[in-house]
Structure 1
Amino acid sequence: MALQQSDIDALKSAIATGATRVRYPDGREIQYRTLDEMQRILRMAQEDIAASSSAGRPASRTSVAGF
Protein backbone atom coordinates (compact mmCIF):
# COMPACT_ATOMS: atom_id res chain seq x y z
CA MET A 1 0.00 0.00 0.00
CA ALA A 2 1.44 3.35 -1.02
CA LEU A 3 1.47 6.10 1.52
CA GLN A 4 -0.79 9.09 0.96
CA GLN A 5 -0.22 12.74 1.81
CA SER A 6 -2.06 12.35 5.13
CA ASP A 7 0.31 9.51 6.03
CA ILE A 8 3.29 11.67 5.15
CA ASP A 9 1.94 14.45 7.35
CA ALA A 10 1.58 12.04 10.31
CA LEU A 11 5.11 10.74 9.75
CA LYS A 12 6.52 14.28 9.57
CA SER A 13 4.77 15.21 12.81
CA ALA A 14 6.24 12.21 14.60
CA ILE A 15 9.74 12.93 13.26
CA ALA A 16 9.46 16.56 14.38
CA THR A 17 8.75 15.47 17.95
CA GLY A 18 11.34 12.69 18.02
CA ALA A 19 8.71 9.97 18.39
CA THR A 20 9.28 6.64 16.68
CA ARG A 21 5.66 5.48 16.92
CA VAL A 22 3.18 6.80 14.36
CA ARG A 23 -0.58 6.49 14.35
CA TYR A 24 -1.78 6.95 10.78
CA PRO A 25 -5.19 8.43 9.86
CA ASP A 26 -6.58 4.99 8.92
CA GLY A 27 -5.88 3.69 12.44
CA ARG A 28 -2.64 1.82 11.75
CA GLU A 29 0.04 2.29 14.36
CA ILE A 30 3.65 1.56 13.55
CA GLN A 31 6.67 1.53 15.84
CA TYR A 32 9.77 2.36 13.83
CA ARG A 33 13.23 1.35 15.03
CA THR A 34 14.98 4.68 14.47
CA LEU A 35 14.39 8.21 13.28
CA ASP A 36 16.74 7.46 10.37
CA GLU A 37 14.42 4.66 9.27
CA MET A 38 11.47 7.06 9.45
CA GLN A 39 13.30 9.67 7.38
CA ARG A 40 14.16 7.09 4.70
CA ILE A 41 10.51 6.03 4.51
CA LEU A 42 9.42 9.67 4.36
CA ARG A 43 11.75 10.35 1.41
CA MET A 44 10.54 7.24 -0.41
CA ALA A 45 6.89 8.19 0.14
CA GLN A 46 7.46 11.76 -1.04
CA GLU A 47 9.24 10.50 -4.16
CA ASP A 48 6.41 8.03 -4.81
CA ILE A 49 3.75 10.74 -4.53
CA ALA A 50 5.76 13.13 -6.71
CA ALA A 51 6.18 10.45 -9.38
CA SER A 52 2.51 9.48 -9.35
CA SER A 53 1.32 13.09 -9.50
CA SER A 54 3.49 13.80 -12.53
CA ALA A 55 2.52 10.56 -14.30
CA GLY A 56 0.14 11.13 -17.15
CA ARG A 57 1.00 14.81 -17.40
CA PRO A 58 2.81 16.02 -20.46
CA ALA A 59 6.29 17.32 -19.79
CA SER A 60 6.35 21.06 -19.35
CA ARG A 61 8.06 23.08 -22.04
CA THR A 62 9.45 26.56 -22.05
CA SER A 63 9.76 28.66 -25.17
CA VAL A 64 12.05 31.60 -25.62
CA ALA A 65 11.36 34.13 -28.33
CA GLY A 66 14.26 34.86 -30.62
CA PHE A 67 14.76 38.30 -32.14
Structure 2
Amino acid sequence: MAYQQSDLDRLDAAISSGVRSVTFADGRRTEYQNLDQLLAARKVVAAQLSMQETSTGAVVRRRVPYYRSGL
Protein backbone atom coordinates (compact mmCIF):
# COMPACT_ATOMS: atom_id res chain seq x y z
CA MET A 1 0.00 0.00 0.00
CA ALA A 2 1.28 3.42 -0.91
CA TYR A 3 0.98 6.01 1.81
CA GLN A 4 0.42 9.71 1.23
CA GLN A 5 1.66 12.76 3.08
CA SER A 6 -1.87 13.27 4.41
CA ASP A 7 -1.62 9.90 6.19
CA LEU A 8 1.50 11.06 8.00
CA ASP A 9 -0.21 14.34 8.90
CA ARG A 10 -3.20 12.46 10.32
CA LEU A 11 -0.93 10.28 12.43
CA ASP A 12 0.88 13.37 13.73
CA ALA A 13 -2.44 14.98 14.62
CA ALA A 14 -3.58 11.84 16.44
CA ILE A 15 -0.32 11.66 18.40
CA SER A 16 -0.47 15.30 19.44
CA SER A 17 -4.14 15.21 20.44
CA GLY A 18 -4.10 11.82 22.17
CA VAL A 19 -6.67 10.22 19.87
CA ARG A 20 -6.10 6.52 19.27
CA SER A 21 -8.04 6.04 16.02
CA VAL A 22 -6.92 7.29 12.62
CA THR A 23 -8.77 7.33 9.31
CA PHE A 24 -6.36 7.15 6.38
CA ALA A 25 -6.76 8.70 2.92
CA ASP A 26 -8.04 5.45 1.37
CA GLY A 27 -10.84 5.19 3.94
CA ARG A 28 -9.29 2.64 6.28
CA ARG A 29 -9.90 3.32 9.94
CA THR A 30 -7.42 1.91 12.42
CA GLU A 31 -7.61 2.07 16.18
CA TYR A 32 -4.34 1.73 18.08
CA GLN A 33 -4.10 0.44 21.64
CA ASN A 34 -1.49 2.87 22.93
CA LEU A 35 0.90 5.66 22.02
CA ASP A 36 3.76 3.26 21.27
CA GLN A 37 1.76 1.69 18.46
CA LEU A 38 0.93 5.12 17.05
CA LEU A 39 4.60 6.08 17.08
CA ALA A 40 5.56 2.81 15.39
CA ALA A 41 2.94 3.36 12.69
CA ARG A 42 4.25 6.90 12.15
CA LYS A 43 7.78 5.54 11.75
CA VAL A 44 6.60 3.01 9.14
CA VAL A 45 4.66 5.61 7.14
CA ALA A 46 7.55 8.11 7.26
CA ALA A 47 10.02 5.45 6.07
CA GLN A 48 7.74 4.41 3.24
CA LEU A 49 7.27 8.02 2.13
CA SER A 50 11.01 8.63 2.11
CA MET A 51 11.54 5.46 0.05
CA GLN A 52 8.91 6.62 -2.44
CA GLU A 53 10.66 9.97 -2.80
CA THR A 54 14.10 8.47 -3.37
CA SER A 55 12.87 5.82 -5.80
CA THR A 56 11.20 8.34 -8.11
CA GLY A 57 14.03 10.86 -8.11
CA ALA A 58 17.01 8.56 -8.37
CA VAL A 59 19.02 8.10 -11.54
CA VAL A 60 19.64 4.48 -12.43
CA ARG A 61 23.18 3.85 -13.60
CA ARG A 62 24.73 0.73 -14.98
CA ARG A 63 28.36 -0.16 -14.80
CA VAL A 64 29.79 -2.30 -17.54
CA PRO A 65 33.29 -3.63 -16.98
CA TYR A 66 35.88 -2.85 -19.62
CA TYR A 67 38.83 -5.17 -20.00
CA ARG A 68 42.00 -4.51 -21.95
CA SER A 69 43.88 -7.43 -23.38
CA GLY A 70 47.26 -5.91 -22.54
CA LEU A 71 48.81 -6.94 -25.87
- TM-score over 0.5 for the alignment? yes
Give the distance between the partners of 1:26 and 1:51, measured in 2 at CA.
20
Unaligned stretches of 5+ residues in structure 2: 60-71
* Coordinate RMSD, CA, aligned: 1.9
Per-residue displacement from partner, 1:28-51 (whole Å, max 9, x unpaired)? Answer: 221111111111111111111101
**How many percent identity over aligned positions?**
33
**Corresponding position of 1:38:** 38
Largest Rg, 1 or 2: 2
Matches for 1:17-56 after TM superposition, within 5 Å:
17-55=17-55, 56=57
**Corresponding position of 2:6:** 6
TM-score, normalization by structure 1: 0.73
> 1:15 aligned to 2:15?
yes
Q: Which runs of at least 4 in structure 1 moved beyond 3 Å after TM superposition?
A: none
Per-residue displacement from partner, 1:1-28 (whole Å, max 9, x unpaired)? Answer: 2321111111110011011111223332
Unaligned stretches of 5+ residues in structure 1: 59-67
Give the distance between the partners of 2:32 and 2:14, measured in 1 at CA.
10
Q: Is the 8 A contact 2:4 2:25 kept in 1?
A: no
Report the 3-state secondary structure (helix = DSSP H, G, I; strand = E; otherwise coil) of the residue aligned with 1:16.
helix
